Amino acid sequence: MTQDLKAELTEMVGPAEWRWLSPHADRGAVVLVDALLNLAEVGLAIATDDVATVNRWMAEALITRPTPAQLEAWGQTQGKHFQALIVQPFVLVQEEPTPEMPLSDNASTEPQ
């Protein structure tokens, strides 16, 4: 059953613009998931009430509520995109990398 649910949740993960997510943030339902975690696995842990795992992720700040500064920045960013998954009553989101958030490239900073 758990594998079936994980497969179903994986299929439900999709892109979302901040303007679609903002009303959910207004009611406190948005949960920010760190890029180190798989969105469907987080959804599975929440859906199956895996309290120990969810608490560990919260303690490690891998799943958090957005800060007021993040909410403000997202609201001011035209076309801000996320990957999102609804696991009622929550909307799990992960930020998509943007040109302003490049992946680190250590090769360019190493001395020649």
Domain boundaries in the chain?
A: 2-97
Compute, in degrees rounded to 10, the torsion defined by CA atoms 54, 55, 60, 66: 70
- Residue pLDDT, tens place only, 21-55: 999 999 999 999 999 999 999 999 999 999 999 99
Buried b (16+ CB within 10 A) or exposed e, 31-65: bbbeeebebbbbbbbbbeebeebbeebeeeebbee
Q: How would residue 19 be classed by pLDDT, with cut points 50, 70 and 90?
A: very high
pTM > 0.85? no
